[in-house]
């Protein structure tokens, strides 16, 4: 009987796609004439979920990276990148906390490498040095949100 229930549970990826993105460099070209590159970088992540029906779920991982000048009298935005990496997931046989965990941890974790690569490419094509986004533990973030009675969306603000 337990084997039958396990066989009914299924997760598959239907589609992974870039839903939206924006890149701005309001200080260009002056920013490239600076002798030193020491920005303060902020990263904000969040995920959202939309049930599409028939066990299909869209999960969107939103990432915003902002670099600001440091050491100037007035901080200036050097670049800002906003990205929405999305996926359609077929999830069946799960409910309650299991489904919440899949949507809040597994799905964003699946989308993150795509978002990381796109962010790095956009920033580099914008003329800025390589930007390496460190791995994120979405499981820990989900658990933190769940204990705070916020299973979704999962949010993190990190400063580098």
Question: In this structure, is the dihedral angle defined by the CA atoms of residues 89, 94, 96 and 100, taken in order, positive or negative?
Answer: negative
Give the 3-state secondary structure of residue 152.
Answer: coil
Residue in the structure block whose two tokens are 């986004």: 133
Query: Does residue 146 carry a pLDDT above 80?
Result: no
User: For 81-99, how does the pLDDT look when each residue is reduced to its tens digit (9 = 90+)?
Assistant: 999 999 999 999 998 889 9
H runs (alpha helix) in 9-152: 96-101, 107-125, 138-147
Element (H, E) at 85: strand 77-92
pLDDT at residue 152 above 80?
no
**Chain CA centroid to CA 88, Å:** 15
Place of tokens 């800002």: 80
Q: Where are the domains of the chain?
A: 11-130+140-147
CATH architecture of 11-130+140-147: Roll (3.10)
Between helix 138-147 and helix 107-125 the angle, nearest 10°, is: 120
pLDDT tens digits for range 118-135: 999 999 999 999 888 888
pLDDT band, very low/low/confident/very high, at 72 (cuts 50, 70, 90):
low
Q: Does residue 151 register a pLDDT over 90?
A: no
Provide the mean pLDDT of the chain: 85
Residue 72, φ and ψ in degrees, nearest 5: -80, 160
């Amino acid at each position: 009987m337990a084997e039958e229930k396990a066989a009914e549970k299924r997760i598959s990826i239907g589609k992974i796609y870039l839903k939206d993105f924006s890149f701005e460099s309001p200080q260009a070209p002056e920013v490239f004439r600076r002798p030193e590159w020491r920005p303060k970088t902020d990263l904000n992540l969040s995920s959202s979920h939309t049930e599409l029906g028939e066990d299909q779920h869209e999960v969107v991982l939103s990432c915003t990276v902002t670099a600001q000048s440091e050491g100037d009298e007035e901080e200036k935005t050097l670049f800002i990148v906003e990205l929405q990496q999305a996926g359609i997931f077929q999830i069946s046989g799960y409910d309650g906390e299991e489904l919440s965990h899949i949507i809040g941890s597994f799905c964003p974790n699946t989308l993150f490498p795509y978002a990381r690569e796109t962010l790095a490419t956009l920033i580099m094509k914008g003329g800025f040095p390589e930007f390496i986004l460190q791995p994120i533990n979405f499981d820990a973030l989900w658990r933190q949100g769940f204990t705070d009675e916020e299973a979704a969306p999962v949010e993190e603000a990190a400063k580098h």
